[in-house]
Amino acid sequence: MIDMSYEEIELKDFSTPSINKPKYPHGLKLSLGKEELKKLNLEGTPAIGQKFNMEIVVEVVEVSSELEGSDEKSLRVELQVKEMEVKKDDTEEVIKQSDSSQIIYGV
């Protein structure tokens, strides 16, 4: 797997204090609501920081490029998530984790 976090040199472009700099580029975060979690059999509350593997099918819905300077081109590809699933072994672990968080935190 490829680590998608910003490189140190990329972080220098941000004018915000170092503690507020994002670790990952904008647009790489997925937000799932109650219905999406239910479809993925993640009806409990996963713990913050918990990791699990997913398989995701995306469709390219937009491509744009533009010249920046003499030879540089910026490129942006927009992807629409069409299908996703949590790997079965991970689903069981998430459910176990969410059951214990429900007992501890009442969520």
Q: How many other C-beta atoms can be found within 10 angstroms of the C-beta atom of residue 28?
A: 10
Per the model's pLDDT, the better-predicted residue between 75 and 12 turns out to be 75
Give me the mean pLDDT over the 86-103 stretch: 57
User: Which structure tokens are listed for 89?
Assistant: 């072994």
**pLDDT (tens digit per residue) in 18-70:** 666 677 777 888 999 989 999 998 877 888 998 889 999 999 999 999 887 77
Convert the pLDDT of each residue in 24-38 to its tens digit: 777 888 999 989 999
Q: Do 60 and 78 touch, CB atoms closer than 8 A? A: yes
Q: Where are the domains of the chain?
A: 33-105
More confident residue, 64 or 87: 64
Q: What is the mean pLDDT of residues 66-79?
A: 85
Largest Cα–Cα separation, the chain: 60
pTM of the model: 0.64
Give CA–CA dist 32/27, Å, rounded.
Answer: 14
Across the range 72-96, mean pLDDT stands at 79
